[in-house]
Amino acid sequence: MDDQTRMLGLGGGLGALSQADVGDPDSARKQQALGQPQQDIGDILQQIMAITDESLDEAQARKHALNCHRMKPALFSVLCEIKEKTVLSIRGVQEEDPPDPQIMRLDNMLLAEGVSGPEKGGGSAAAAAAAAAAGGSPNDGSIEHSDYRAKLAQIRQIYHSELEKYEQACSEFTTHVMNLLREQSRTRPISPKEIERMVAIIHRKFSSIQMQLKQSTCEAVMILRSRFLDARRKRRNFNKQATEVLNEYFYSHLSNPYPSEEAKEELAKKCGITVSQVSNWFGNKRIRYKKNIGKFQEEANLYAVKTAVDAANVSAQASQANSPATPNSGGYPAPCYTPDGRL
């Protein structure tokens, strides 16, 4: 035992004990003066082991006596140390948890969506930015975003209140456990370090619950996104003039209705829409025209006449110049645009 105590580096307490063991008369006298029986570690352990065999009152009294024993702190630290070296070391190895990549992802997304970020101003700006970046949808999107933002704010509010609830519950539980452990540490070898570790465990458990919250919040945001930011749901028909311009181009280039990038830009400008909208329009137009040429015959004629008239005006002005873009001037053309493609 002496060796062991020295190895454990224990201080005065046990040193004094060993002295008492040897029967230092001075120490014995002091103990007598304090009214405590002389005893060694073996006796103490004996008492501890026997404590369950005694009546409750006896046990309480014994416990109190043991608690007040001057050897108690030393014993306590020994037991703590032994415990530390056995049980806890097993778990202590994998203690340092690297930040969970999953929760990092969720956090990043929530931040990007403006759910978990700063409150009003920054949040909505971030949301708008995220929306613009993700959708790529070139809608000017000023009206529809108000609705979106309202819903997002709702989600944010729920998220925050839930988060607060969790945090509160967590801290409540933590303090409860800490109090319990502190209380217990009067009779059981529970070191502050162990309490700390227990707190960490609790926090991890709660953070996994939080992750569920974050996950479901993310899902809610995604659904909201797809509901509100999908441009299909906020479609506006182009105005008459715009469709007229587009149709004019389409039917006057029926043989090759593929506007160049420049032409698209020009059309976009004329129609007050974006280039990709022009591309969409031509894509739709081509496929729908091809699918049912008959249905579009009337329209084709209309625009053919229109361009013919324009061409006529132009050529009238320009005397005899051959306008290059009047493939169908005159009659009603069997459309040059065939399903197989460009002529």
Shortest CA distance to 341 belongs to which of 246, 252, 254? Answer: 254
Distance in angstroms (rounded) separating the CA atoms of residues 119 and 153: 9
Which of 89, 280, 323, 338 forms a contact with DNA (CB under 7 A)?
Answer: 280
Separation between Cα atoms, residue 123 and residue 146, nearest integer Å: 13
d(CA 201, CA 197): 6
**Residues across the chain:** 343
Residues in 97-136 at the binding interface with DNA, rule: CB under 7 A: 135-136
CB 64, CB 36: distance < 8 Å = no
Q: Which is nearer to DNA, 217 or 277 (CB)?
A: 277
- Which residue of 85, 122, 192, 258 would you call a contact of DNA, by CB under 7 A? 258
As measured in angstroms, the least distance from the Cβ of 232 to DNA is 4
Cβ pair 203, 170 in contact under 8 A: yes
**Residue 332 sits in the site that holds DNA (CB under 7 A):** no
The verdict on 237 binding DNA (CB under 7 A) reads yes
Site for DNA in 138-167 (CB under 7 A): 139
| Residue 225 near residue 131 (C-beta atoms within 8 A) | yes
Residue 269 binds DNA (CB under 7 A):
no
Distance CA 141, CA 229 (A): 9
69-77, 89-97, 206-214, 233-241 -> range binding DNA (CB under 7 A): 233-241
Q: Which of residues 282-301 bind DNA (CB under 7 A)?
A: 282-284, 286-288, 290, 295
Q: How far is the CB of 89 from DNA (least distance, A)?
A: 51
- Least separation in angstroms between residue 92's CB and DNA is 47
Half-sphere exposure of residue 155: CA atoms within 13 angstroms, side-chain side: 28
Which of residues 236, 319, 321, 331 is near DNA by CB under 7 A?
Answer: 236
State the nearest-atom distance from the C-beta of 306 to DNA, in Å: 16
* C-alpha torsion sign, points 31, 34, 35, 36: negative
Binding site for DNA (CB under 7 A): 135-137, 139, 230-238, 243, 258, 261, 273, 276-277, 279-284, 286-288, 290, 295, 339, 341
